[in-house]
Structure 1
Amino acid sequence: MLQKFKEHININFPFLKDKKLLIAISGGVDSVVLTHLFSELNFDISLAHCNFQLREKESDLDEEFVKLLSQKSSNQIFTIKFDTEKFASKNKFSTQIAARELRYNWFQAIIKKHGFDYVLTAHHADDNLETFLINLTRGSGLDGFTGIPKINGNIIRPLLAFSREEILAYAKINTINWREDASNATTKYIRNKIRHTVLPLLKEINPNLLETFAKTIENLQESKQIIEDRIADISAEVINSKNDILKINIEKINQLSNPKAYLYQLLKNYTFTEWNDVYNLLSAQSGKQIFSKTHRLLKDRAFLLLSEHAIPNENEKFLITENQTEITHPIHLNFEVVQQKSIENKQIIYVDKNLLKYPLIVRKRQNGDYLYPLGMQGKKKLSKYFKDEKLSLFEKENTWLLCNNENEIIWVLNHRQDRRFVNDNNLKISLKPT
């Protein structure tokens, strides 16, 4: 297996040569064999072990084992203890999801602090098949059926081409010791049920199951690439972005062969789960919105608008004293006394400094706000002004107001100036990009 593994690395992972590598090691046969293989090939490796404290004394014995292994091989080792059950309960995760979150976040912290290039994990071909079958039982899109990625950012999985049987045989031939996790034998977890009950039957039906499964994964990955290419083309046609808001053209989406399927592909990375609700938004009334854990999607006339899920704090305000010439938060404003008025646009206004009452206030909209728009007659409620300007809900929420200390609007930034503060035009106020 060593020679086969060496060729596999040279062909598929040549970039690992001369890199600083961190191997995730549990003490089980897979990760111990992975460590042995890279040691034999003289790579620069260190070890990282997580003690999840889920198996009482056995977890501590695993930690002692990998520490001893690192001493014998003179490899640097990082270890950590996690209160996994507490973390899972607090975040409403399953124990397995909690452990995954904890370990991968820790790996990234080690990489950042100690300058490693990649983390290597010991997932193998049987793990890949088990994951496929788990996703099959739960229901999944194509992403769930294309296998564990062999490269995912700085996470590398060099053993995916090898079976559990090959790994065990290598360990026995080379008299490699490892720790056996007793929980792997129980059928309490769905992965173990598939491993001990379903896979033996499938391998009895097809002794070459892993080989045919590898071909299936390759075919699915190729199909996925075609879909991704098509979605990239469609995205350019139906989506545009402005101020961190994605605008999806509803008319163009509805002209596609399967709008719901296209919406899924366009929005799947934004943690939405109720795809019927996403699809129904196409025909909903303007103003209706749905939320994922991280984003919200709003129907606004002819578009669906996507933004990060953040509720604005309408009571938040920032003060500007009379002597200040600049603020950089929450927006970037410059204040300059001038002799005469020159260029004027949506990013620059001129006011009479003597008409201002300090401190000035930068804030978001509030109920009852009104202004006397420059160039228009009378006064207008801010809500009516926004409606006439056809601003979306997102745009309304993201619009800042410059007011005096009595909360009278001086400027609806990026939109309209109030005419009450125009006379000598001796103070230039500029909105700068942030």
Structure 2
Amino acid sequence: MEFVILAVVIAALVVAGLVSGLVVSGRKKKQLPPAPSSTPTLTPPAEPHVGEEAETPREEPRRTIEEVGPPDAQAPVAEAPAVAEPEAPAVPALEIPEPTAGRLVRLRARLARSQSTLGKGLLTLLSRDNLDEDTWEEIEDTLLTADVGVAPTQELVERLRERVRVLGTRTPEGLRTLLREELLALLGTDFDRAVKTESGVDTPGVVMVVGVNGTGKTTTTGKLARVLVADGRSVVLGAADTFRAAAADQLQTWGERVGARTVRGPEGGDPASIAFDAVKEGIAEGADVVLIDTAGRLHTKTGLMDELGKVKRVVEKHGPLDEILLVLDATTGQNGLVQARVFAEVVDITGIVLTKLDGTAKGGIVIAVQRELGVPVKLVGLGEGPDDLAPFEPEAFVDALIGD
């Protein structure tokens, strides 16, 4: 019996030990947090998600206007910071153009540099000991190369041959004098080369400037305004070139420099209407001269040329046109004569302006275009400066050609 009781007790102890082992074993498998390290690791806090920190809206009692009441009259009112007024744009000082008298003489050196080929070439050939047929052919070639034209060249050569044969002039000074006289005879010294700016009635003188694209027509109009202002005339400009976007702005800039007002219209507007308004404004202001810049017509487009005729007719409703100046690029040579013929058929050209004469050795175009149209060259452009437009003086021109 005692043995049985002892066996039961031992069995109970064994069972209790096993249960305790299982409990301890289960606790050992549980993951414990790691021990704190000597160097703490900083982990950035997680960014809050949308709506996490949003506060639930609360109902608040609303107040009426009577309950709110007016603001305290004694409460100081913050003054608004003072706003600095924008400065008015500075009025540009008016420029004083150079006087026109003697301009071509002052620009003679610039002209001589580009034209020396013609004058010096002729003098060299004429100074040869033996003026045979080959030499006279070279003289002809020199004149043709300078765009003097076929008929004027033949005329000049014949006169030179006759005078050299009769007079026997062979000294350098004698040949220079002879050549000067013959060139002046071709240029013509009896032309009236003054730009007509007086109408003879109670209206301003009206000058219309025409020409093809690229000849410097708008620039010439602006420079002509300076010439007239330098001579004491008041000027109104008409920007009737509405086909080129920058033409009106360019002309207005020229006018502002010398105090001349510019009448302009919308881009693509009716050129005849703007020309009409320009003359009307000139009459109202009592101006001395109205300069009208027309679009650079392509002489191959009949419609545009017809429109140029319309501008002329509309302007003449105020009074006669006193001057129609054709602007030609001297560097185009004989092609300029083609342009001149077409323009002469549409409007009555009264004078010629040759631009870029300082940039070409083809000064003979002066003779050729005068012979073609029967009208004089009145102005020449000899540079890009604002006062590089000069009245044409035949004597100064020939002296620049043949040198001292």
TM-score, L = length of structure 1: 0.27
Larger Rg: 2
- Structure with higher RCO (Cα < 8 A, 6+ apart): 2
TM-score, L = length of structure 2: 0.29
Of Structure 1 and Structure 2, which has the larger fraction of its residues in strand? 1
